Structure 1
Amino acid sequence: MSKFITALAATALATGSLAGLTAPAHATEAAAVSVRANPTVDSPIKDLLDDPDTAAILEKHLPGISDHPARPQFEDMTLAEVMPYSQGEVTQAIIDAIDADIKALEE
């Protein structure tokens, strides 16, 4: 986990790529209420970690994510956005497993 976050942080700092990933303020504010009420794998990692149930799911599949020192660099991204920078640590299979666990919370 730390290897992919370090790579993500280095890439983001070197290229400034995180700046292009932000949405307009009005779009983010409107989406924030909906996402917090019903988190999904498409929610920002920060929102998933702010909810105790989804934080436990993320920790189960990506141990150490909540306390990682580079968290400020990736917490506004979704899991899918982090995946290309993760050096194989975040895979579609892991995202699918997290998605299944989050959906099971709704049952």
Structure 2
Amino acid sequence: MKFLFTAVALLATPLAASAQTAPAAAPAAARLTIDSSIEAIAANPKGKAILDAQFPGMMAHESYPMFKGMSLKQVQPYAQGKITDADIAKVAAELAKLN
């Protein structure tokens, strides 16, 4: 898992840098979807639990500050198959239950 996020950090630096200029995480009342930033999902305790269950250690990863502004869909191409369409579908289904 560490390799996955290190690769993402190295490959996604331009995307992460532009994401840092975006507004902060969405308000807690905002609807969370698979297109929400990882940071926005993690800001909601139930959303964080969903991410922790599907991707253990993601928020503790040393490169988290670099990719937290990206959505899972944006990170997926850099994950070398570690974030699958099935993983994203599972997270999407769980997030839909929150809304």
- TM-score, with normalisation over the residues of structure 1? 0.78
Considering only CA atoms, is the larger Rg found in Structure 1 or Structure 2?
Answer: 1
Q: How far has the Cα of 1:24 moved from its partner?
A: 7.9
User: Which residue does 1:92 correspond to in 2?
Assistant: 85
RMSD: 2.3
Q: In the TM superposition, what whole-angstrom CA distance separates every residue of 1:4-25 from its partner, at most 9, and x where no partner exists?
A: 1100112234xx3444x54985
Q: Where do 5+ consecutive residues of structure 1 fail to align? A: none
Question: When the two structures are superposed, what TM-score results if normalisation uses the length of structure 2?
Answer: 0.84
**Percent identity of equivalent pairs:** 35
- 1:102 Cα offset (Å): 1.1
Per-residue deviation at 1:105? 2.3
What is the identity, as a one-letter code, of the residue corresponding to 2:11?
T
Residue of 44, 49, 61 corresponding to 1:56: 49
1:74-85 to structure 2, matched below 5 A, reads 74-85=67-78
Name the counterpart of 2:6. Answer: 6
- Gapped regions of structure 2 (runs ≥ 5): none
What is the alpha-carbon distance in structure 2 between the residues aligned to residue 36 and residue 81 of structure 1?
A: 23
Greater helix fraction, Structure 1 or Structure 2: 1
8 A Cα contact 1:9 1:73, kept in partner: yes
